[in-house]
Amino acid sequence: MSAMTGVLYGALIVYLGGWFLGYWTGNFSLLLFVLTVVTLAYWLAERLRFAPARAAAAAALAQQDTARRGELARMGIEKVDGDLAQAQHKLLMQPWWLDWTAGLFPVILVVFLLRSFLFEPFKIPSGSMVPTLAVGDLILVSKFHYGVRLPVINKKIIDNNDVQRGDVMVFRYPVDPRLDYIKRVVGLPGDEVSYLNQKLSINGQPVPTVAQGEHYDDDSLSYAPLFTEKLGNVEHQIRVEPRRSAYYGGDPKHFPMAENCRYSPEGVTCKVPPGHYFMMGDNRDNSQDSRFWGFVPDENIVGKAFFVWMNFGNLGRIGSFH
């Protein structure tokens, strides 16, 4: 068993090392699920087999010691060498391969349950959500806000709140579901979303915006106009760069249901299909979002982002956001 445990730990180190070095993209949900199952198997084996076997061996040793002392006493020998308590302690000790598997099961199980059904931490890797979220923000995502989903397969089993325009959502990137993205919900199923000449409209109605002066972005070291935008009941800030052109790449028809979108020199208009959402970054001219890669299906939803719990470069960013 110790050899097999060593092989398992070696495979884990190789997997994490390749993930860290960029040789492949890891799946933390799947990894955590596998670790939970493996450590559960060791935990059950410890409780049902290994611990009782060690206890039986310690009891047998005690019986043997008692019989030995009785035999020596009959021979007139009163003083007997040997420390029974120390020997029993060594017999009852968990070997390292159980200590580092069965011993970790309760901790891994708690992390798995918290991360799968309650809250999951994420780190903001890019400036696509500036000014709402900055590079380096460590955020919390509610996994149950939109409903309870089974881990790994992400299948919803219990409904909760409906997705609303203006929500900041974490979702699996439709192009590569192994990656998690964060954007703002702009279009709901059935909506017609237009972003023309850097103006957002939904179902033919312009989304209200109010100019707020200039915004300086620490990441890009640049200024751009700042606006307050109201999507549904949510007021939030957006950053717009008037000098950027509305260019969305070459042939746009490379994502599922791309026929729902019309591209022009002024921008893009899309009809959101059933069961899908149109997502945009608050840094409107520096965001790879639904304008480029299409709609987010409901089964890709991870949860609703709601709180910055740490930014090591700026502690003032800690708190809730809209």
128 counts as catalytic:
yes
pTM for the complete prediction?
0.85
Catalytic residue among 128, 142, 194, 290: 128
Compute how many other C-beta atoms are within 10 angstroms of the C-beta atom of residue 23.
10
Q: Let me know whether 289 and 188 are in one domain.
A: yes
Q: How far is 319 from 305, CA to CA, in rounded Å?
A: 12
Q: Residue 152, Cβ neighbours under 10 Å: how many?
A: 14
User: Which residue type is seen at 292?
Assistant: F
For the segment 44-83, what is each residue's pLDDT rounded down to a tens digit?
999 999 999 999 888 888 888 777 767 767 777 776 666 7
pLDDT tens digits, 237-266: 999 988 777 666 655 558 999 999 999 888
Q: Is 34 inside a domain boundary?
A: yes
pLDDT at 90 over 90: no
- Report the SS3 class of residue 319: strand
Distance, CA of 74 to CA of 140 (rounded, Å): 72
The tokens for 164 are 């609303």
Do both 96 and 129 map to the same domain?
A: no
Catalytic residue, chosen from 29, 116, 143, 183, is 183
Distance from C-alpha of 103 to C-alpha of 47, rounded to nearest angstrom: 11
CB distance 195 to 268 below 8 Å: yes
Confidence label for 313 from pLDDT (cuts 50, 70 and 90):
confident
Question: What pLDDT digit, counting tens, does each position of 126-135 carry?
Answer: 999 999 999 9
- pLDDT at residue 265 in the model: 87
Which tens digits make up the pLDDT trace of 166-201? Answer: 999 999 999 999 899 999 999 999 999 999 999 999
112, 147, 169 - which closes a domain:
112
Residue 167 belongs to some domain of the structure: yes
Residue range 118-142: average pLDDT? 94
Using the structure block, give the residue that is written with the tokens 């039986």: 56
Q: What are phi and psi of 228, to 5 degrees?
A: -95, 130
Within 10 angstroms of residue 13's Cβ, the number of other Cβ atoms is 10
| Interatomic CA distance for residues 123 and 170, integer angstroms | 11
CA distances, 12 to each of 5, 231, 254 (Å): 11, 44, 36
The range of the structural domain enclosing residue 58 comes to 2-112
Question: Is 2 part of the annotated catalytic residue set?
Answer: no
Say if residue 170 is in the same domain as residue 103: no
- In total, how many domains does the chain have? 2
Cβ 214 vs Cβ 226: under 8 Å: yes
Q: How far apart are CA 217 and CA 215, in angstroms?
A: 6
CATH number at residue 298: 2.10.109.10
- List 237's β-bridge partners, or say none: 228
> Residue 31's pLDDT is what?
93
